[in-house]
Amino acid sequence: MKTVTAEEMRTLDEATIAAGISSYDLMEKAGVACAHEIDEFLATKSSRFTHKIHIFCGKGNNGGDGFVIANLLYQMGYRCKVWTLFDKLSYTPETKRHFENLNPLIPVQSQINNLSILPIHEVIIDCLLGTGVKGELKPIFVNLIATLNESKGLKIAIDLPSGLNGTTGRFSYGSFVADLTITIGRPKLGMNINERAAGLCGLQRTVDIGIIDDSNSDYNCSFDTLTDSDITSYLDRTSIYCHKGDMGKIVIIGGSDTYPGAPQLSAFCALRSGGGLVYLVHPGGIRHLINQVPNAIIKSPIGQSVNFGNIKLIKGDLEEYCFNKDFLAFGMGIGRHEDNKEILEFLLDVPIPLVLDADALYFVKDKQSLKKRQAVTILTPHAGEFKRLCQSLDCEEFLEKTKYEATQSFAKKFQCWLVLKGFQTWIATPSGEVFLSTSGGPALASGGSGDCLAGMIAAFGAQMNDVSKAICTAVYVHGRAATFHTLSQRAFIPDDIPQKLPAVLAELSPHS
């Protein structure tokens, strides 16, 4: 979905209203969509921490969204309380109407001067300013938000955390710090233009409220932020006549005696992502350790060593396993044994799409082998690996750029697809297109999460005709799997990811 500035969003709102929907109804749609997203989020938390919901409303449209949200959450069975900072005579007309429509059983509190820190089991929803912030926060907001930020309970921002500029990413002293931000209509540029702004937003979700199609418009921002609706559109119907060969033949190449679990995670996630035939090629000396995968995965040991060893001894087997396959993934758990450099060189000459992950990236040092490769090449570094890649390939100047600029420059220079993993995952294509996924969260901060992603990219790449859409789907679904659960973020481990994929895919597409 196209990322917009706050000003562009207001223009889109106006155009949608001019096309026939009233501003009152548009506000109603926004509030309803946000309430359902809040309910889904809170369903992943213990009921102990959703005891009561406090909605803090300003006098503009963001406050009107809050009144709609309060009504619907109350209907859903939540205990709600509305806090207002201004007399209703100062409200916008639509906001005033929604305030007057509040269920009379919902308590409304207008005195906030002596607000105390709310207990940890009560939820805070910020509907104070949204995209309406200009300059520094006024003292009335600074004092209130300081108290809200000190509260230990769950915090949700509607459209934008109050104090964050939706265009520039600048934020005022005392801005609201959210666990979840639900942005309305379109993702806002200011939410992700820098990491500190993204940190204020926490997890991010975008709700579609029927804003007019903007595909022919010109925008200041040149990257797309991925949303549920994007991925839904990418996941096409599977043919009723398909067979295992149609669903992709994927080869996962990895493992060593030190890291036998990494390629198993990759293979399991490739299978769970719809792969028709998944081969797990691993060193023969660790076959007794390859015991954590489903029976459907084809275990394919080569050589007798606990590492892959000399390419001359295993080249024939590698050629056989790569022959007539759709997608390869290499690097997960291989370690940094020098023999792996020759395996990488061999695979770069194989005219089959290839994902390079983990320690395979350590051996990527030849610029020309990337540029001249005759098939799709996808690199999946985290920040530290990307820094080493730039140093090895003599493009350290990219490290001085923003992540958006760095990923775009790298992918264009080396004619590859680049997936720069992190809290914000940036995806760049050889042609210069850039996509941002904000679907993940802290639950992915565990060794092995990237191995899962590598297998998923290979699987979706083998099934989908558009490589960029396949990568975006894999990255987004991978992130959603880490937030679409009722587990503790700290307790969530990469082994949980393949178990969560069926539910996430079913949520995103009726054809999954």
Same domain? 255 vs 386 = yes
Contacts 24+ apart (CB under 8 A), 13-17: 13/185, 13/211, 15/212, 16/210, 16/211, 16/212
Can you tell me the mean pLDDT for 20-41? 96
User: What confidence category does residue 135 fall into, taking pLDDT thresholds of 50, 70 and 90?
Assistant: confident
Can you tell me the mean pLDDT for 215-220? 62
Q: Which two tokens stand for residue 60?
A: 């503009």
Can you tell me the mean pLDDT for 429-438? 96
For residue range 446-468, what is the model confidence (pLDDT) as tens digits? Answer: 999 999 999 999 999 999 999 99
Q: Which of 221, 254, 273 is the last residue of a domain?
A: 221
pLDDT at residue 71 above 90?
A: yes
Evaluate whether residue 503 is within a structural domain: no
Supply the angle between the helices 93-100 and 61-75 in degrees, to the nearest 10. Answer: 20
Can you tell me the mean pLDDT for 428-449? 95
Helical (H) or strand (E) element with 252:
strand 249-253
Same domain? 51 vs 155 = yes
| DSSP assignment of 268-319 | HHHHHTT-SEEEEEEEGGGGGG--SS-TTSEEEEESSSSS---HHHHHHHHH
Domain membership of residue 314 as a residue range = 236-420+446-465
Evaluate whether residue 482 is within a structural domain: no
Same domain? 211 vs 252 = no
User: What confidence category does residue 188 fall into, taking pLDDT thresholds of 50, 70 and 90?
Assistant: very high
60-74, 215-229, 259-273: which range is least confident on average?
215-229
User: What confidence category does residue 134 fall into, taking pLDDT thresholds of 50, 70 and 90?
Assistant: confident
Evaluate whether residue 474 is within a structural domain: no
Same domain? 24 vs 99 = yes
Across all residues in the chain, what is the average pLDDT? 94
Same domain? 205 vs 274 = no
288-302, 395-409, 445-459, 474-488: which range is least confident on average?
474-488
Nearest CA-CA partner of 30 in 6, 65, 58: 65
For residues 132 and 100, the answer to whether their CB atoms sit within 8 Å is no
Same domain? 158 vs 253 = no
Same domain? 37 vs 157 = yes
pLDDT at residue 487 above 80?
A: no
Q: What is the pLDDT of residue 222?
A: 80
Evaluate whether residue 268 is within a structural domain: yes
Evaluate whether residue 495 is within a structural domain: no
Domain count, the chain: 2
Q: What is the pLDDT of residue 215?
A: 55
Can you tell me the mean pLDDT for 90-109? 96
Same domain? 198 vs 248 = no
Same domain? 247 vs 393 = yes
Evaluate whether residue 122 is within a structural domain: yes
Q: What is the pLDDT of residue 430?
A: 97
Q: What is the CATH number of the domain that holds 22?
A: 3.40.50.10260
Q: What is the pLDDT of residue 111?
A: 80
Can you tell me the mean pLDDT for 117-144? 92
Evaluate whether residue 431 is within a structural domain: no
Can you tell me the mean pLDDT for 226-235? 95
Amino acid (1-letter code) at residue 316: G
Q: What is the CATH number of the domain that holds 398?
A: 3.40.1190.20
User: What confidence category does residue 218 fall into, taking pLDDT thresholds of 50, 70 and 90?
Assistant: low
Q: Which two tokens stand for residue 41?
A: 């989020």
Can you tell me the mean pLDDT for 383-390? 97
Q: What is the pLDDT of residue 486?
A: 72
Q: What is the pLDDT of residue 221?
A: 74
